[in-house]
Amino acid sequence: MIPRQFRLLPEHLYPSDEWSIIERSYSDTWMGNAETIFSVGNGFLGVRGTFEEGRPTIEAGTFCNGFHETWQIVHAEEAYGFARTGQTMVNVPDATVIKLYVDDEPLYLPTARLTSYERRLDFKTGVLQRELTWSSPAGKQVTIRSRRLVSFEHRHVSAVEYEVVLDTDAPVVLSSQLLNRQDARATDEPGNGNGKSDPRRAKGFTQRVLNARDHINQDQRVVTGYRTTNSRMTLGVGMDHILETENQWFAENSWSQDLSKVVFTIEAKAGVPIRLTKFATYHTSRSVPAIELVDRSMRTLDRTMREGYASIETAQREYLSRFWERADIVVGAEPRVQQAVRWNIFQLCQASARAETTGIPAKGLTGQAYEGHYFWDTEIYVAPFLTYTESRITRNLLRFRHSMLNPARERAKELSEPGALFPWRTINGEEASSYYAAGTAQYHINADIAYAIKSYVAIRGDSDLLAEVGAEILVETARLWAGLGFFGPESGSFHIHGVTGPDEYTTVVNDNTFTNLMARENLRYAAEVVEWLKEHRPDAYRHLVHETKLKNDEVVYWRRAAESMYIPYDKERGIHPQDENFLEKEVWDFANTPVARYPLLLHYHPLVIYRHQVIKQADVVLAMVLLGDQFSIEQKRRNFDYYDPLTTGDSSLSACVQAILAAEIGYADKALEYFQYALLMDLADVAGNTVDGVHIASTGGVWMVLTYGFGGMRDFHGKLSFAPRIPESWSTLEFSLRFHGRTLQMVFNHEEYSFELQEGEPITIEVCGKELYLDHREAVKVPACVHDARDGCVEKQHQQPTLEEGLPPC
Amino acid sequence: MIPRQFRLLPEHLYPSDEWSIIERSYSDTWMGNAETIFSVGNGFLGVRGTFEEGRPTIEAGTFCNGFHETWQIVHAEEAYGFARTGQTMVNVPDATVIKLYVDDEPLYLPTARLTSYERRLDFKTGVLQRELTWSSPAGKQVTIRSRRLVSFEHRHVSAVEYEVVLDTDAPVVLSSQLLNRQDARATDEPGNGNGKSDPRRAKGFTQRVLNARDHINQDQRVVTGYRTTNSRMTLGVGMDHILETENQWFAENSWSQDLSKVVFTIEAKAGVPIRLTKFATYHTSRSVPAIELVDRSMRTLDRTMREGYASIETAQREYLSRFWERADIVVGAEPRVQQAVRWNIFQLCQASARAETTGIPAKGLTGQAYEGHYFWDTEIYVAPFLTYTESRITRNLLRFRHSMLNPARERAKELSEPGALFPWRTINGEEASSYYAAGTAQYHINADIAYAIKSYVAIRGDSDLLAEVGAEILVETARLWAGLGFFGPESGSFHIHGVTGPDEYTTVVNDNTFTNLMARENLRYAAEVVEWLKEHRPDAYRHLVHETKLKNDEVVYWRRAAESMYIPYDKERGIHPQDENFLEKEVWDFANTPVARYPLLLHYHPLVIYRHQVIKQADVVLAMVLLGDQFSIEQKRRNFDYYDPLTTGDSSLSACVQAILAAEIGYADKALEYFQYALLMDLADVAGNTVDGVHIASTGGVWMVLTYGFGGMRDFHGKLSFAPRIPESWSTLEFSLRFHGRTLQMVFNHEEYSFELQEGEPITIEVCGKELYLDHREAVKVPACVHDARDGCVEKQHQQPTLEEGLPPC
């Protein structure tokens, strides 16, 4: 990988803390990144870490998962089947804003004299809190404490508690707002963003997005029902308030389509605290009228007002306590590493916890970049974490994919294929990728989904999902492969041409190794599941046959295609070419490419990139991680040695994968180096665009490096195995997994490994190639693995043959 | 090729005539096609064959070559180096409109009772004339004769003569207009087009294009100076009139930005003719202010008013008489074939005659489709005709390419290459192709231009062009190839990857045979010319070295690259794969592709098309025509046999090329079949889009089939040879060529061939493999060739080796 620059958060401003991320001073420089890093969310609702005062801000944003506006994609040159429907997650009205005026002077952080300041996002409480003392222009000391959360327990609720105390009497105004920034942006409302317009970020709509259809403003409550202009989705947004103070005060509300307010005017006395609690609620729908969502918002506000802020915060803490029990990873490294590890895991929680009937956007709900679209990131980078810690969420995500099967069938038809082709990027199920070479051509999305289904079933040890929705997805995805590929007239091998693999610096190629391997897996598993269903779930089988009009000979064909799948292999070099013609290309001139010209995609025409051996992100290397049982350790090392110098890491999906494989083949230094890129992707702005939102796939990747990479955990064929490779500089690595209804707790150090079965039936796992029986008596300790001369060769060979014969089995 | 449907012009409406195209009745059905077919133009100014009455019309259009508006290309997904500047030829104000009112009733052809009607475009006079009798609603007989021309002699002038005679007294109004349809279209002026909006046609601007800057209206003259909004080009347009009649009349003028009028009100007496002559003039510029073009327009109108219509028509006739002397081809076939042949050649004249300091748009000046862009069509499809009949025009076109060398150098830089890369499509020199896979990736444009330079020099026998501009183009294009290609580390062969050849159904491939062969030619010729210049034109050489900073070792490298050029060859099949991986692809399922799904590009996603063996247009077959001396006749036949069934002919550039090669290898029926597709491309609407304008490349292709194909003419290595293959059903084929300052006249029939040297020094040519000496004494007659068992093998082998050894020389 090309060495990247870390733009580390300076320790004096952002000190280490194992359970929170802290900001010690207001900073213009770091504001954009901090807005992302201090985001709070619950997988349905997300709020960027902007200040309560509403400004300044680089990219303020509040998002409801799946709530999007559509627009017609206009192609500079049209062609048949190009994506037509643009989809962009809407920046919904911002309910965080509480403007403070003392003596009619606003608190404006960039110019305010702050005698103390701390902001903290606490991973245990799930609360973003801030405490500061403002020495006002008139010399008054104003102490402000605020707390903000998006509730994990109450899916539709966010809340702010804002407390002000003065050392002198003064008139105080708190203007609590609900600000529609999405449309205010178009109308150029001042103080709204810094005017940057980078086309990679999100669609700047030229027309109004949110149209108010109904509203209620009574007392300290304002609720608005909106409908979007094109997608006709509806949104209910509301806020309500509780002001607690011994001071004299009164409140007034006002409503307008883009800015509603409840303004509190307070005669503040010295030392008499003012505490404003603000609840906000968001409801969205594809079908229900706005007025109905206004109603739902009213009921939600009623309930939260009854419960009160303290109770919601308690529930928040309890939720997270359960989360960390399942998901925490303890590393025996410096606190900064532990902090970063927990920040990444916390992001996974915030992106997924309440993502029900939706997917997980590439940036979670922390930014509008990538338009809030769902990619393969979910199935390949996030699902492993979820399945091992809270498989219910994986099931929801796979059920959501199933709900998009009909548009995927339509899309396959447009692409002249049978079955279903899932969109490369989407919110509503339609393909939204407007550049097919690095979009629709990534047919592997189909196999990625099938892979996630297989993993879910294998890790959970539960086949219900197959009968419910999995089998139907498997049938339709297998059909796509059967139609797309063909048997070479001479070789008799099954080929898949004209596809793009994970590496987007090499597009529309023949027989991409990753794609062919994953498609083979898809075909095999589909056949296996259909036969299993026939035998064990005859009713579900009949239902499946009815729904899909499945024919017996199709399954036979899938097996034949899978067994004949062509896998490129270069005997001379002993490596798997990324695709059939990859090795024939000219090697990129890395020596003469200045660091400033990365990422290459911003500095070279696609034609230049595509005709060279240069890789954006792990491709064959990813195949060796996902399908690691199908490669010998020697192949892994040779492939890694070949591809590693060609890989720019211009994608955030790469470093974690490279780290896992590097660990497996015994390249400890590289493993740690790549782990750090993944770990600090956002915290040290490795990709240079932290401001646009969290790289959720990379946060999932961090979990994978810790468990698969350093923990050496593998789960091929439903069997759990470990061959830990803890970094030299770390003392321990502790994590927990749920597997087949069991809870396992692992503690690894350089001397010994401890395995504890905390819940569930006894189980035999494999450690460093040896079987280990676990029951409830106590933690079982075994000495640390000794990696032999063929370093990394710790797993036994499974039934499946390696791809190429002639190489000695591992 | 996939059989196409002819939509033949019905004989009773469009009868045969060897020297003109005739319309016998007003027809709604054929109106759109007729607008294209009856276009008049001179290569600078073109006017579609719409009616003087101004409506109805399908696509009215008046165009000045190179006069364009620019706009920003917005890509659905941006990437580095994508084309930025859209360029669209403007529909300039229409000066053909003369509306006729009798008794205040307008003449409107669709509803008028016409007792006689004939429209005729005469290839000898270059005049579009119409004669009709209108039986008015009031029962009056109105006889109208009109004549329209765009002058070959006066580059900036068009003229209309409009004559009316009535059988009864009546008030008559003639409203002569200058109508800005480009902007009226945007404002939805009624009666302007039929509302169709096909994105392939032309850019519908959303903003005003032509802004009036100055105008003069005095008496019967109106002149307006415009400037375009974005490209800042200027246009002067004017009209002036002469009314000749014994009747009482008066005239009034009026001006507005989009519609100027001179209205003649006449008290017409029975039998007293009214003749209105209308002159129009168009001047364009990139740099001169509009007011200056108003001035030029005034002077042009002054001059044409002095000369008068009759004198301009005489000059027109004389110009064409000289043209036909050089360019006519007489075929001993039914008159309909002769008519079509002459119509095609006449289009070549109309597209090129006065194309000075511009290129030739894909549709000439007969339509706004393809935005009026210049493609490789000029160099490969039109230049042969021009070079053999009026090489001065080829020289202008190549000098025009040279004028675009600087933007081409910039473009090469953007594509990370040295030298120059000419745009795939352009008006102003910048790349305007917004889909790189079938645009910028067609690097072969560079070699096509080099090929045209070489051909020009070889046919004219004159090297001045090289010293003037040719060498500089050759150096910069050769440099591009040297940078783009690379020596394979193992084979040592020179490879060119990531390019698209002529066939746009197969894109971004490695080692496209056509491209590699043409690039080799480019490299070789550049080296040759540099060395020739050094020896014979030392001043020009010094100038070249100064301008291009040429190094000696570059030339050495070009030679080495050329000699090591990798040319794909499949030994087993004995054919040249279209590219390195073409034969590995799945063959398109032609059997299950209904005729209605052609052209495929309108019915299949590019990914589907690209991954199959299916060809839009001749690719290897074109290489075998352009570089026919580099293939043995056996190779030609095997290649043709392989590619012919895969070729859809979805491009109009294909049929003519296939015809030439079919003729050469003795496939007489196919040759004639493909010739007919080319010949009738527009006249029988083979491509289904005649309405959008004439396929100029195909008209050039018709000339090529007649000379290269049926005439068996070849000119490799500066030697002229013939091996005629006249279609069975034809009695004769006669044509004339200019070659090395000589004029040669050929008359071929099935018994003998006659060659006459009409001008210039004696010359030795080759006929059916035997040398033939021609001097001025008289036509030399030789018996017709007998094609031997290896049918078609009539040429001697030249020095250059065939591409692949082992095959017997021809």
Sheet holding B732-739, edge to edge: B329-331, B732-739, B742-749, B752-759, B780-783
Q: What is the mean pLDDT of residues A129-133?
A: 98
CA distance B386 to A210: 61
Instruction: Establish, for the pair of chains A and B, how many residue pairs have beta carbons separated by less than 8 Å.
Output: 130
Q: Is A508 close to B74, i.e. CB distance below 8 A?
A: no
For residues B121 and B130, the answer to whether their CB atoms sit within 8 Å is no
Whether A556 has its CB under 8 Å from any CB of chain B: the answer is no
CA torsion, ordered A369, A372, A374, A379, to nearest 10 deg: 70
pLDDT band per the 50, 70, 90 thresholds, residue B808: very low
Say which of B69, B313, B390, B504 is annotated catalytic: B504
DSSP character string of A23-62: E-S--TTTHHHHHHHT-EE-SSEEE----TT--S-SS--E
Please tell me the predicted confidence (pLDDT) of residue A203. Answer: 62
Question: What pLDDT digit, counting tens, does each position of A542-563 carry?
Answer: 999 999 999 999 999 999 999 9
Q: Answer yes or no: are the C-beta atoms of A636 and A629 closer than 8 Å.
A: no
CB-CB under 8 Å, A75 with B611 = no
Q: Which of residues 596-625 of A touch B (CB under 8 A)?
A: 601-608, 610-611
Grouping H, G, I as helix, E, B as strand and the rest as coil, residue A353 is coil
**Nearest CB to A604 within list B76, B416, B603:** B416
Average pLDDT over residues B592-613: 96
Task: Quickly count: other Cβ atoms within 10 Å of residue B160's Cβ.
Answer: 24
Give the full edge-to-edge strand order of the sheet including A752-759.
A330-331, A732-739, A742-749, A752-759, A780-783
In chain A, positions 476-515, which contact chain B (CB-CB < 8 Å)? 486, 488, 495, 497-498, 508, 510
Residues 6+ apart with CB under 8 A from B633: B664, B665, B790, B792, B793, B810
| pLDDT at residue B202, as a whole number | 54
pLDDT tens column, A307-350 = 999 999 999 999 999 999 999 999 999 999 999 999 999 999 99
| Predicted pLDDT at A184 | 81
CA A124, CA A320: separation in Å to the nearest integer? Answer: 6
Average pLDDT over residues A108-126: 97
Cβ contacts of A486 on chain B, cutoff 8 Å:
586
Q: Is A199 on the interface with B (CB under 8 A)?
A: yes
Q: Which helix (H) or strand (E) holds B355?
A: none
Among the listed residues A359, A368, A351, the one whose alpha carbon sits nearest the alpha carbon of residue A182: A368
CA distance readout (Å), A466 to A450, A451, A462, A525, A528: 11, 13, 9, 11, 11
pLDDT band at A228 (very low <50, low <70, confident <90, very high): very high
Q: What is the DSSP letter of A10?
A: P
- Look up tokens 């597209």; give the residue: B351
Per the CB < 8 Å rule, is B415 touching A608? yes
Q: Which of A23, A161, A371, A504 is catalytic?
A: A504
Q: Chain B contacts of A497, Cβ < 8 Å?
A: 584-586, 611
Decide the pairing of beta strands B62-64 and B45-47. Answer: antiparallel
Distance CA B431, CA A112 (A): 52
User: Residue B749 in contact with residue B337, Cβ under 8 Å?
Assistant: no
DSSP symbols for A263-330: EEEEEEPTT--EEEEEEEEEEEESSS-HHHHHHHHHHHHHHHHHH-HHHHHHHHHHHHHHHHHHH--E
Q: What is the pLDDT of residues A22-51, one digit of tens each?
A: 999 999 999 999 999 999 999 999 999 999
The CA-atom distances, in angstroms, between A135 and each of A107, A169, B101, B790 are: 10, 14, 86, 101
Predicted local distance difference test score (pLDDT) of residue B589: 97
Q: Do B80 and A604 touch (CB under 8 A)?
A: yes
pLDDT by residue (tens digit) across B698-752?
A: 999 999 999 999 999 999 988 999 999 999 999 999 999 999 999 999 999 999 9
Q: Is residue A383 pLDDT above 60, yes or no?
A: yes
The 3-state DSSP composition of chain B as helix, strand, coil percent (nearest 5) reads 35, 25, 40
Cross-chain Cβ contact A607/B415 below 8 Å: yes
HEC readout, B696-707:
HHHHHHHHHHHH
Check: CB of residue B94 under 8 Å from CB of residue B179. yes
- Tell me if A584 and B586 make a contact (CB, 8 A cut-off): no
How far does CA B210 lie from the centroid of its chain? 26
Say whether pLDDT at B204 is over 80.
no
pLDDT at B491 over 60: yes
Helix H or strand E encompassing A496: none
B734 is catalytic: no
Residue found under tokens 């194309």: B355
Q: Find tokens 């010209």 and name the residue.
A: A597
Task: State whether the Cα torsion B196-B201-B203-B209 is positive or negative.
Answer: negative
β-pairing, B721-722 vs B763-767, is parallel
Show residues of chain B in contact with A603, CB under 8 Å: 80
To the nearest whole Å, the CA of B418 is away from the closest chain A CA by 13
Q: What is the average per-residue pLDDT within A148-163?
A: 98
Strands (E), B246-338: 248-254, 259-268, 274-285, 329-331
Of B498, B584, B604, the CB nearest to A607: B498
User: Of A486, A605, A610, A613, which to mutate for an interface test with B (greatest number of B Cβ within 10 Å)?
Assistant: A605
**ipTM for the predicted complex:** 0.92
| Chain B residues near residue A83 by CB distance under 8 angstroms | 76
- Residue B336 has which token pair? 């309909």
